[in-house]
């Protein structure tokens, strides 16, 4: 009897696993990325990228383990004992790193070559038929992007093929056919998604999330990190005057003293006037 793993194509197998694992890990990685961004660190370069990759590795191992075990049990009826996630992840990662390098080179070269070829071809064609700018852009884009995309897809397929082949070897080596019926198998992989102590899990998850939220509040800038070059508009400045209480008090006390003096002299004058002509009243 042939092994159930041989019934499925390597590419499909690797695709199903990595696609599901990618999305399983995605929300966790976004949380990390968001915190980095709130701290004004770019997660796509330098320390930000290193931090993100470091955090991503365990997330991916867990996600790949969960999705792989599910897939094996549900689709193939195979139970795999031992650490599935790490066993598959390192193979995928090594193959992926290698393929990423190859793809970077292959796609880059294809794009560059096709760009040159497209330019040359269009240069010749333009001498015969005039091509307007908008059409030229799209034609040129298609002429280099289509081959580059095909090369990229080829690289992806090769990676999937290789990874799928490794996955199959892994399943054949360490998997055992499950004797349970379909319903029982579905129940089983469903149960993997629920932790043994779910209350503890919920509480710790909540605690971590509340901590992260507080970190987010602390890190998030109150005013925009990207100010408009012309803000504030010039006339708005004139209206705002800073009031310094002490200075103002001293100043006004001086004015007040002067005013009192003036008032005093006025009253004196008035009194003099009264005295001067008492009979006139």
Partner 1 sequence: MNALLQKVYDFVDERIDLKTLEAKMMKEPIKGGSRWAYVFGSVLLFIFIMQAVTGVLLMFYYIPSADHAYASTQFIIHEVDYGWFILSYHFWGSSAMVVMVFAHMSQVFLWGAYKTPREMIWLVGLALFGIVMAFGFTGYLLPWDQRAYWATTVGVEIMDKTPVVGDFLARFLKGGPTPGQMTLSRFFVIHVMVLPGALMGLAGLHLFLFRSAGPAGPFRGTPEELKAKTDFFFPRQVWKDIVAMAAVFLTICSLALIEPVVLLEEAKPDPGDYHPEPEWYFLFLFQLLRWKIFAGEFGQFLGATAIPAAFMLLLAALPFIDRSPERNIFKRPIALLSWTVVMIGILVLTVSAIINREFLD
Partner 2 sequence: MASAQPKIKSKVRCLDGEVGEIVHVIADPISLEISHIVVRANGTQRQVPASAIAAVRDDSVELLCNAAQIAGYPEHKPDDFLTSKQVEIPHLENKVHVEPGDLLVPFPVLEKSCPRRNFFAGFIHVIGALIALPLAWPVLRFITKPMYAPYDNHWIKIGNVSKIKTEDVGVQYIFKKAFTDSVLQREEDKNHWVIKATPEVLKKIYKHGDISFTDEKGEVIWVNKQTVPYVAFAGKCPHLGCGYKWRSHKTLGQVFLCPCHLSIYDNTGKVLDGPAPRPLDVLPIKVSATGDIEIIDVEYKAGKSELVRIA
- Give the residues lining the site for partner 2 (CB under 8 A): 183, 186-187, 190-191, 194-195, 198-199, 201-202, 205-206, 209-210, 213, 216-217, 220, 222, 235-236, 239-241, 243, 245-246, 248-249, 252, 255-256, 258-260, 262-263
**Residue 5 has what DSSP assignment?**
G
**Quick one: which segment of 58-66, 180-188, 256-264, 271-279 binds partner 1 (CB under 8 A)?**
180-188
CB of 83 to partner 1, least distance (A): 25
- Of 173 and 236, which CB lies nearer to partner 1 in the complex structure? 236
- Of 97 and 256, which CB lies nearer to partner 2 in the complex structure? 256
135-154 residues in contact with partner 1 (CB under 8 A) are 135, 137-138, 141-142, 145
- Of 2 and 235, which CB lies nearer to partner 1 in the complex structure? 235
Q: Which does 226 bind (CB under 5 to 8 A by kind): partner 1, partner 2, none?
A: partner 1
**Quick one: which segment of 57-65, 78-86, 116-124, 228-236 binds partner 1 (CB under 8 A)?**
228-236
Task: Indicate whether 224 belongs to the interface with partner 1 (CB under 8 A).
Answer: yes
Helix, strand, coil abundance in the chain, percent, nearest 5: 80, 0, 20
Rounded CA-CA distance 156/95 in Å is 11
| Burial zone of 131 (CB within 10 Å; 0-12 exposed, 13-18 middle, 19+ buried) | middle
Residue 16 · residue 71 · CB < 8 Å: yes
245-274 residues in contact with partner 1 (CB under 8 A) are none
Task: Indicate whether 192 belongs to the interface with partner 1 (CB under 8 A).
Answer: no
Give Cβ neighbours of residue 110 (< 8 Å, ≥ 6 apart). Answer: 144, 147, 148, 151
Rounded CA-CA distance 164/171 in Å is 10
Residue 43 · residue 52 · CB < 8 Å: yes
Residue 79, H or E segment: strand 78-80
- Of 46 and 232, which CB lies nearer to partner 2 in the complex structure? 232
Burial 266-281 (b: 16+ CB within 10 A, else e): eeeeeeeeeeeeeeee
CB of 117 to partner 1, least distance (A): 17
Helices (H), 220-244: 234-239
**Quick one: which segment of 31-39, 65-73, 77-85, 239-247 binds partner 1 (CB under 8 A)?**
31-39
Rounded CA-CA distance 118/124 in Å is 10
- Of 135 and 247, which CB lies nearer to partner 1 in the complex structure? 135
Query: Nearest 5°: phi and psi at 175?
Result: -95, 150
Among 233, 234, 278, 280, binds partner 1 (CB under 8 A): 233
Residue 163 · residue 91 · CB < 8 Å: yes
- Of 22 and 165, which CB lies nearer to partner 1 in the complex structure? 22
Residue ranges binding partner 1 (CB under 8 A): 23, 26-27, 30-31, 33-34, 37-38, 132-135, 137-138, 141-142, 145, 182-183, 186, 220-228, 230-233
């Amino acid at each position: 009897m042939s092994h159930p793993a041989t019934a499925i194509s390597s590419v499909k197998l690797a695709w199903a696993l990595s696609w599901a694992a990618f999305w399983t890990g995605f929300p966790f990685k976004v949380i990390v990325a968001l915190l980095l961004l709130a701290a004004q660190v770019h997660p796509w370069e330098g320390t930000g990228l290193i931090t993100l990759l470091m955090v991503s590795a365990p997330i991916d191992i867990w996600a790949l383990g969960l999705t792989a075990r599910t897939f094996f049990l549900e689709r193939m009826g195979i139970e795999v004992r031992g650490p599935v996630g790490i066993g598959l992840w390192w193979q995928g990662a090594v193959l992926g790193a290698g393929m990423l390098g190859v793809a970077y080179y292959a796609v880059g070269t294809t794009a560059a070559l096709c760009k040159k070829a497209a330019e040359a071809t269009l240069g010749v064609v333009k001498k015969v038929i005039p091509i307007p700018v908008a059409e030229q852009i799209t034609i040129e884009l298609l002429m280099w992007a289509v081959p580059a995309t095909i090369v990229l897809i080829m690289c992806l397929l090769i990676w999937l093929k290789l990874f799928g082949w490794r996955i199959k070897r892994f399943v054949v080596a360490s998997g055992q056919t499950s004797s349970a019926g379909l319903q029982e198998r579905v129940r089983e992989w469903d149960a993997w998604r629920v932790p043994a102590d779910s209350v503890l899990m919920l509480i710790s998850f909540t605690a971590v999330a509340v901590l992260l939220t507080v970190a987010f509040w602390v890190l998030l800038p109150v005013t925009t990190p990207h100010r408009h070059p012309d803000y504030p508009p010039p006339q708005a400045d004139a209206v705002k005057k800073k009031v310094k209480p002490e200075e103002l008090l001293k100043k006004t006390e001086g004015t007040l003293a002067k005013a009192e003096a003036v008032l005093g002299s006025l009253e004196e004058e008035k009194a003099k006037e009264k005295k001067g002509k008492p009979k006139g009243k």
